[in-house]
Chains A and B, each alone.
Chain A
């Protein structure tokens, strides 16, 4: 059981408000990822759930019971820290046993649980070493092992992969996903890396400045971002935003005049748009085609990044920056005038306040 419900949770450190009324429900067995830029409060939110920080206001309930005043140790949660926080003076075995010894568990059962976790994480050969004698990846496994042996109702992971090198991060990510499938426990995972968020999450919670911007499955967030912030945060490279004003509205499509004078058609798809209002058009770099087409705009290339499988173009559309990811290799150079076609691209519409239309 690992059902966690946050109702209007507020946290402030002195005069600084870090979390402004968080409402969130996490279901049993769900893998939820908190993402957001640095300082958005995602770690504070995790530490509040863990019980290491006391919420200033609001209620936190685990399995239907309000746990605001329950100490961290008695909430039945386990946490994996960003720095791993292994006890340096204890062997791996003692690190794993420490939490269990504190619950006065019989020695035989402790040994059994450690053996099981060690087998699962393949850390059996290092059980008698100290953390200082392990590599980063091994320490990371021990940190996860320390959480597993507790058999918690939910795992809280605070950027657990941020200290690993890129290759190890990829393989550990896959192992974490497998571990979640195997344990079917609730996991709450904090990261600022959207690739981790997209690949691991059942649901992603996007945070900004202590507020939830959007909660949804990875593809929901990618396909239907609720606002400009989420649209710009999810997806790599980030979405292009073209500012403009609505010139004319037809039943199926509308026409906008972009800043700089270019005109662009876009589908309306049920949104209510008024002629003359300011609008932001969001287009993902991967959806823009090179070459003249039906709905195209002229651009000037500023920089070409050839990655082999794809080419990233940094271009300029009458003063507005635009990124284009074109598959394959292209013989283009900075300074060249090109034409970009948006006829097949899904276009996201945002109003003046940045909300989705």
Chain B
């Protein structure tokens, strides 16, 4: 423990603060707040009640104002720490507020109204987790159905993406043919065309193929990605050609060279692409929204938009469900990141 502390608090200036120490600390702490702050706020806020979400100034952790039932009043009243005009402090319940004056009552002596300036009182608050934000959608929202649709789309699309893109990358990196560079440039050039440009023609194609309102209509247009081909091709270029010559001498077919030699050696790049693909497909919103119009086919992201109505946005449910939908992506990343190590392709040589 002391060694970790020593490691974290090491400074370049041995006795004082070197200017780089200050810059480093500001940079790293600032980065931590910018990167991690929103995630913490999201998780904290997903446990807030709608009233707490609307509160200003916002808080990170979920708090609720304590309430007390006072004799003679129908509804429970909010409790406040108030400073009385004579300087005493007491816990009082607010009956009503008129301008800057709050009419309060001592829960012990419900008959007597005490007038307190609103600047002289602060609400009594405790942390409370509104777990209903999580439980309620599971009962009246078809979460499991949407989850299954999302998982199906993500897993299938990612597997097809890996196979299709690695095949293209294999051909573009290991075969010599006329127009190879041009083909690669053409593939990369498609990166410049945004989805909104091809959306209408793509919709016509999907519709003509009868894939409208079908999960395959969400999967198939997304599986060939220029980014994936590029990542895998650049990685495959580093696999020595002599390995492929050796496999050819070993009577391996072109399929076996691809499947048994090149693909296992491309594992680190495949892991990167798998993470990308999972994140892309899981978070996809626009295209599934276009293709899927039947509620039982919705993916999670489309399903979540139910909570965002024209007049009323149910932020507490949206935040809670966003946390739930983030979990699989985080798990995939944790699982795959250990494959993103330096490749072993060169270790059989020399």
Tell me whether A99 and B250 are in contact in the complex, defined as CB-CB below 8 angstroms, given that A81-B245, A87-B243 are known contacts: yes
Kindly supply a per-residue 1/0 record for chain B positions 19-40, scoring 1 wherever the CB is within 8 Å of any chain A CB and 0 otherwise. 0000000000000000000000
- Asked whether, in the complex, the Cβ of A99 is within 8 Å of the Cβ of B242, the reply is no
For chain A, the count of residues having a C-beta within 8 Å of the partner chain is 32
Contacts of B346 on A, CB cut-off 8 Å? 88
Known pairs A52-B249, A102-B252; A88 contacts B347 (CB<8 A): yes
- Do B250 and A98 have beta carbons less than 8 Å apart? yes
B264 at the binding interface (Cβ < 8 Å):
yes
Q: Which of A80-136 contact B (CB under 8 A)?
A: 81-89, 95, 98-99, 102-103, 130-132, 136
**CB-CB < 8 A to A81: which residues of B?**
242, 245-246
Residue contact B348 to A102, C-beta cutoff 8 Å: no
Is residue B109 within 8 Å, beta carbon to beta carbon, of the partner chain? no
- Report yes or no: B240 in contact with A102, Cβ–Cβ below 8 A: no
A72 within 8 A of B: yes
Query: Is A40 part of the contact surface with B, judged by Cβ < 8 Å?
Result: no
**Cβ-defined partner of B347 (8 Å) among A71, A132, A136, A146:** A132
Quick one: CB contact mask for B119-132 with A, threshold 8 Å, 1 for yes? 00000000000000
Of residues 153 to 167 in A, which have CB atoms within 8 Å of B's CB atoms?
163
Tell yes or no: A5 within 8 A of B by CB: no
- Known contacts A85-B242, A85-B243; is-contact A77 B249 (Cβ 8 Å): yes
Does A50 make an interface contact (CB < 8 A)?
yes
Q: Indicate if the CB atoms of B248 and A73 lie closer than 8 Å.
A: yes
Q: Which of B1-26 contact A (CB under 8 A)?
A: none
Closest residue of chain A to B242 (Cβ to Cβ) is A85
A78 contacts the other chain (CB 8 A)? yes
Contact across chains for B348 and A87 when beta carbons are under 8 A apart: yes
Q: Is the CB of B243 within 8 A of A102?
A: no
Chain B residue with Cβ nearest A86: B348
B189 is an interface residue with CB less than 8 A from chain A: no
Q: Is the CB of A85 within 8 A of B252?
A: no
B169 within 8 A of A: no
Query: By the criterion CB–CB under 8 Å, are B245 and A52 in contact?
Result: yes
Partner of B350, one of A74, A84, A103: A84
Partner of A83, one of B242, B260, B344: B242
CA of A50 to CA of B246, assembled, Å: 11
- Contact residues of B: prevailing secondary structure: helix
Any B CB within 8 A of the CB of A203: no
List which B243-257 residues lie within 8 A (CB) of chain A: 243, 245-253, 256
Please give, as numbers and ranges, the residues of chain A lying within 8 Å of B256 by CB-CB distance.
102
A283 at the interface (CB under 8 A from B): no
B334 within 8 A of A: no
Any A CB within 8 A of the CB of B345: yes
Question: Which of chain A's residues have a CB closer than 8 A to the CB of B349?
Answer: 83-86, 88
- Shortest A155–chain B CB gap in Å is 11
Instruction: Chain A residues near B348: list those with CB within 8 A.
Output: 84-88, 95, 131-132, 139
Tell me whether B265 is interfacial, beta carbon within 8 Å: yes
A99:B347 contact, CB within 8 angstroms:
no
**A79 contacts the other chain (CB 8 A):** yes
Q: Are A163's CB and B350's CB within 8 A?
A: yes
Least distance between A11 CB and chain B CB atoms (Å): 15
Distance of A89 Cα from B243 Cα, bound (Å): 11
* B224 interface residue (CB < 8 Å to A): no
Chain B residues, Cβ within 8 Å of A74: 251
A52 to chain B: which residues have CB within 8 Å?
245, 248-249
CB neighbours (8 Å) of B243 from chain A are: 85, 87
Shortest C-beta distance, B338 to chain A (Å), equals: 16
B266 to chain A, nearest CB (A): 10
B347 near A130: Cβ-Cβ < 8 Å: yes
Expressed in whole angstroms, the Cα–Cα distance for A50 and B249 within the complex equals: 8
B272 within 8 A of A: no
Which of B245, B249, B260, B350: most chain A CB closer than 10 A? Answer: B249
- Report the bound CA distance from A158 to B346 in whole Å: 18
Interface string of B209-252 (1 = CB under 8 A from A): 00000000000000000000000000000001011011111111
- Residue among B250, B264, B345, B349 with most chain A CB within 10 A: B250
Contacts of B246 in A (CB 8 A): 79, 81, 85-87, 146
Complexed CA–CA distance, A91 and B245 (Å): 19
Alpha-carbon separation in the docked complex, A99 to B245 (Å): 12
* Interface contact B344-A79, CB-CB below 8 Å: no
Given contacts A83-B242, A88-B344, A89-B265, contact A73 B350 (CB under 8 A): no
For A86, what are the chain B residues with a Cβ–Cβ distance below 8 Å?
246, 348-349
Contact A87 B261 (CB under 8 A): yes
B248 neighbours in A (Cβ, 8 Å)? 52, 71-73
Query: Once the chains are docked, how many angstroms separate the CA of A164 from the CA of B148?
Result: 57
Of all chain A residues, the one with the shortest Cβ separation from B249 is A79
| 12 sampled A-B residue pairs with Cβ under 8 A | A52-B245, A72-B249, A81-B242, A84-B349, A85-B242, A86-B349, A87-B261, A88-B349, A130-B347, A131-B347, A131-B348, A136-B350
**Which residues on A are within 8 Å of B, measured CB to CB?**
47, 50, 52, 71-74, 77-79, 81-89, 95, 98-99, 102-103, 130-132, 136, 139, 146, 150, 163
Lowest 4 CB-CB distances: which A-B pairs, in order?
A132-B347, A99-B250, A86-B348, A88-B348
Give 14 A-B pairs besides A85-B242, A88-B265 with Cβ atoms closer than 8 angstroms.
Answer: A81-B242, A85-B240, A85-B349, A86-B348, A87-B247, A87-B348, A88-B344, A88-B346, A89-B265, A99-B249, A99-B250, A102-B250, A131-B348, A150-B250
